[in-house]
Structure 1
């Protein structure tokens, strides 16, 4: 059976970043453990996943511009 969270460092990091984004602000080690990551994976890939999640989240935020009023 293949691990759904990934088998390579890149896959695990991407999966962890996705989990962090889905959980949102305040994502904890416990949240990641509940999603199936091991403590070893969190220690090894957590920092890179956090950076990836933050970069991805900030690039998806759009500025809101008020629409012109109808004349």
Structure 2
């Protein structure tokens, strides 16, 4: 996983957790704008989320943050 994607995921997870608490769920789409201007990064996130880890569409932000921080 690229450093850029790692930083983006941790940043978004921290923001969502601060807003809604430890029980908040997210999908990998949460890391991108509605108008995706970085398709390569989106594909990297999708492959990591769906193919590599076979995660559900929504997962707890704390779980995703912990997984990414362990990389």
TM-score, length of structure 2 as denominator length: 0.36
Task: Specify the structure having the higher radius of gyration (Cα).
Answer: 1
More helix by share: 2
More contact order relative to length (CA 8 Å, sep ≥ 6) = 2
Which one has a larger percent strand, Structure 1 or Structure 2? Answer: 2
